[in-house]
Structure 1
Amino acid sequence: MEFVQISEHVYKLTSETVVGIRVKINTWYVVEGEDVYIIDTGMEDYAGAQLNAAKSLGSPKSILLTHGHLDHINGAKYLRNHLNIPIYAHEIEIPFINGEKPYPNKIEEETTGVEYQVEGLSDKIIKRLPLDVYLTPGHTPGHVIYHHKDDNVLLTGDLFFSNAESLHPPIRKFTNNMDENINSGRVIDKIQPSIISSSHGEDVKYKHDLYTIYKFIYE
């Protein structure tokens, strides 16, 4: 497990899990004064490390989800119980988090543990955040990404998998609509972040041809 600072206000915790293959899971902490915003919560088996990381940076304010897949939400119940803070996701995603609608290839027995406890990211809530929020459907219908404008860091969830030089699509088996997901990726050319940090992989420095190459290979 690795805990690093990737910009002035953004920190990243990296762990690993096995989902058929061994994969990295990145979650983030955005610091604004004394407030700490937790972006995704990873798996419950290291939620204690998530809690310690957040508290080491200040006072945890809320949990912001990119989407509701278990490797992003499984630690949310533990963190909510210990911190008594709200959890937010895009309103389109909430029926899936609640189990009212199925994700592709979702195991029926899987539950998020926070059904009917996640609130929608209303305009009022977003205005209070030190982040811009972009809806990027495809991997899931209500998938979002978070942009820290001052640091120009983009936290992209499962919009991409990444290595240090390039972007790749998420696992097709667990993606609702791959064509839509690839199209959503064009948002990086609108934002032009200095750093793209995905949930699975290494941070990537933005280049003007990054999305063009990705789209050409995978579309």
Structure 2
Amino acid sequence: MDKQTNENQIENSMLRFMPMTSITSGTGSEVLNDVYYYTDQIVNICFIGTPESGDWVLLDAGMPKATPEIKSVVVDRFGRESRPSAIILTHGHFDHVGGLVDLVDEWEVPVYAHELEIPYLNGEKSYPKPDSTVEGGLVAKASAYFPNESVNLGESVKALPADGSLPGLEDWQWIHTPGHTPGHVSLFRKKDRVLISGDACITVKQDSFYNVLMQSPELNGPPRYLTTDWDAARESVNKIAALNPSIMVPGHGPAIDGEKLETGLKSLVENFNQVAIPDYGKYIDKNLH
């Protein structure tokens, strides 16, 4: 066996068994008394509602096999018999719906997503395959092994109200922020300008294994290997910046606020083509550059 073949086999083995985790995995943070997020390996799951009221909503459902961790957070924060009034999804990629089917079976609560996301949540369609050829680091290369199949929630999944309201969250609204997926949404509360951005923009360079592992904070566009429409992704970042959020909880990476958020969003808007859009990949339109 020649040296190059051996190196390729070692790299392929690393990619196949690479631990998808981070130093913040298994920890949570309360950004406000009614907004709490928990990091499951590399992705954030949000719990919206005050512990005292017992009235809360789950936003996204983590990595595959996340159900026990989510239930443990629920017990600690809301009580043993507590369940949400609804589950809301920013989108349906595998790392945001991992515990969903089991939770819906047990809790028997409705799931809401944008109407364009429904086919990926009721078994009708699978997402485009991740682009492992895209410019980026080891996680981008490993994306070839990420699942792209849809979950099948049947009639449990419903379209979000067309007026922008959110079931169970009176003061919040959903904002259509496509690009990463066709029906991706972010959540915004106007009174205190809290934004939950999902994967429309994130605070870790998601294609880099080191940055994902260490959760190195850096405002970024959506994960490159799973974003298929960069024109829409740019417009979504512009839309988010126009909201002038005071706090942002992303789908990946730590929450940020204040001047760091303001200057980060301004820079991302101004330099989106250079810093967010990869130089190559199968979902790249060369006319973008």
- Aligned ranges for residues 204-219 of structure 1 at < 5 Å? 204-207=256-259, 208-219=262-273
Q: Quickly say closer, same or farther: Cα 1:90–1:109, change in 2 above 3 A.
A: closer
Whole-Å separation in 1 of the counterparts to 2:169 and 2:242: 20
Percent of residue pairs bearing the same amino acid type: 31
Is the aligned partner of 1:157 residue 2:198?
A: yes
Residues 118 and 157 in structure 2, CA contact (< 8 A), matched pair in contact too: yes
CA deviations over 1:118-173 (Å, ceiling 9, x no partner):
11111476365232110111110100001234443211111012147642122222
2:74 pairs with 1:54: yes
The letter of the residue matching 1:211 is L
**Distance of aligned partners of 1:50 and 1:216 in 2 relative to their CA distance in 1, 3 Å threshold:** same
1:202 counterpart residue number: 254
Asked if 2 retains the 8 angstrom alpha-carbon contact of 1:9 and 1:151, the reply is no
Question: 8 Å contact 1:196–1:206 — kept in the other structure?
Answer: no
TM-score (norm 2): 0.66
Q: Which has the higher helix share?
A: 2
1:66-81 alignment runs, 5 A limit: 66-81=90-105
1:103 pairs with one of 127, 151, 173: 127
Cα distance, 1:108 vs structure 2? 7.8
Cα offset, 1:199, TM superposition: 0.9
**Over aligned residue pairs, what C-alpha RMSD do you find?**
2.4
2:114–2:185 contact (8 Å) kept in structure 1: yes
Structure 1 15/126 Cα, relative in aligned 2: closer, same or farther at 3 Å? closer
Deviations 1:10-44 (A, max 9, x none): 0111121xxxxxxx211100005321100000023
Q: Secondary structure at the match of 2:57?
A: strand
Matched, 1:27 2:81: no
Q: Contact 2:126/2:149 (CA < 8 Å) preserved in 1?
A: no
| Residues 1:8 and 2:28 aligned together | no
Change (3 A) 1:87 1:203: same
- SS for the counterpart of 2:45 is strand
In structure 2, the partner of 1:83 is 107
Q: 1:3 to 1:206 in 2, by over 3 A?
A: same
Q: How many residues align?
A: 212
| CA–CA separation in structure 2 for the residues paired with 1:113 and 1:74 | 12
Supply the distance in 2 between the matched residues of 1:8 and 1:85 (Cα, whole angstroms).
Answer: 24
Contact 2:86-2:168 within 8 A present in 1 as well: no
Q: Give 2:60's aligned residue.
A: 40
Amino acid at match of 2:198: G
Contact 1:3-1:11 at 8 Å conserved across structures: yes
The 1:110/1:165 distance shift into structure 2, 3 A limit, reads closer
Flag structure 1 segments of 5+ consecutive residues without an equivalent.
17-23
Tell me if the contact between 1:165 and 1:205 (Cα under 8 Å) persists in the aligned partners: no
- Distance in 1, matches of 2:91 and 2:32, equals 23
- Answer yes or no: is 1:117 the counterpart of 2:141: no
Matching residue's letter, 1:121 = L
Indicate the larger mover: 124-133 or 149-158: 124-133
Displacement of 1:115 in angstroms is: 4.1
How far the C-alpha of 1:98 sits from its partner, in A, is 2.3
Distance 1:108 1:40 in 2: 17
Q: Do 1:103 and 1:176's aligned partners in 2 also have CA atoms closer than 8 Å?
A: no
1:21 is matched with none
Q: Which has the larger radius of gyration?
A: 2
Contact 2:92 2:150 in 1 (8 A): no
Once residues 37 and 151 of structure 1 are traced to their aligned partners in structure 2, the CA distance between those partners, rounded to angstroms, is 18
Q: In the aligned structure 2, how far is the partner of 1:183 from the partner of 1:82? A: 38
CA distance in 1, matches of 2:30, 2:60: 16
Is the alpha carbon distance of 1:70 and 1:193 closer, same or farther for their aligned partners in structure 2, counting shifts above 3 Å? Answer: same
SS of equivalent to 2:241: helix
